[in-house]
Structure 1
């Protein structure tokens, strides 16, 4: 550490920021995630989703978490004219950095698939593993979407597991209230 005393605090801060983002890995773009989640789809269309105050309160009650946002980025997947489901794009904080992910939902608001788009943390990247993400399939806001209660933790990735699980539960609640057909 003696050799660092010759650097200004600004240089040290810059080095620290550069090293913290050096672990970022983009696994999928939003467009690639659409094709992975709904490979049978013939088209994808952006869908506007704006929650009103009552819906935000209902999401909080159902998910046990604040709705967090009024506007959500949603993409509808279609096979010809038939709705296959929706993809909701979101970000949650890991330990320090954002985790970008996509949740595929069936028309009944159950989770079809979860994909990690970008992971920026130095630890916890194991949430990218297919076996961990498969735990979400078939679950709804009311069934098994809590860490330790339907979703297993990964040692060394507790915050990433917890925050992504909470995010998926929030999205499942939103789907239950605003997207379910």
Structure 2
């Protein structure tokens, strides 16, 4: 029985690919945001319509929490992968995406999006005039829905940064 437990633990460790999932508070602290100083963007009808276009479904809330300092903004956002929500932490500044992490992955497949090698594709990404990412994002076989989810969140965070940066 003890051998079975050790084997199970070893398989769990290997399956995690050595990637630890961070909490939103840890993510915010790592990027120099005070988690207790959240701001809110109350969504007007125009913003709700734009977000609906980005996500391909209506956003469930009427406000989005974010953290901001003079140079950058941080967001903790959820989007459905295939069936379950994936929680992302993303930092954006005027130069584009600076950090992008998967804070909670709940799907049974597609967790390759947690790997830094994949996430680096988004770094420096910006929105084009037609609302698309200015960078091509390579897909991952077996993680199509997770990649789509992450791409939607990248576009959403860039859009939200534009909204909170307007005078």
Deviations 1:65-111 (A, max 9, x none): 556243112112x4xxxx131111111111111101111011x2721
Q: CA deviation at 1:140?
A: 1.3
Structure-1 separation of matches of 2:112 and 2:27: 18
Residues 53/109 of structure 1: CA separation in 2 closer, same or farther (3 Å cut):
farther
Structure-1 separation of matches of 2:44 and 2:95: 19
Q: CA deviation at 1:178?
A: 2.7
Structure-2 separation of matches of 1:144 and 1:58: 12
Q: Is this contact kept in 2: 1:100–1:117, CA < 8 A?
A: yes
**CA-based RMSD:** 2.8
Q: 1:140 aligns with which of 119, 126, 131?
A: 126
Structure-2 separation of matches of 1:96 and 1:26: 22
Residues 179/160 of structure 1: CA separation in 2 closer, same or farther (3 Å cut):
same
SS in 2 for 1:89: strand
- TM-score relative to the length of structure 2: 0.74
Match of 2:77? 90
Residues 54/42 of structure 1: CA separation in 2 closer, same or farther (3 Å cut):
closer
Alignment of 1:7-26 (within 5 A): none
SS in 2 for 1:27: coil
Larger RCO (CA within 8 A; separation ≥ 6): 1
Q: 1:28 aligns with which of 2, 22, 28?
A: 22
Structure-2 separation of matches of 1:139 and 1:90: 17
Match of 2:156? 170
Structure 2 unpaired stretches of 5+: 1-14
Match of 2:5? none
Match of 2:7? none
Larger strand share, 1 or 2: 1
Matched, 1:125 2:111: yes
Match of 1:11? none
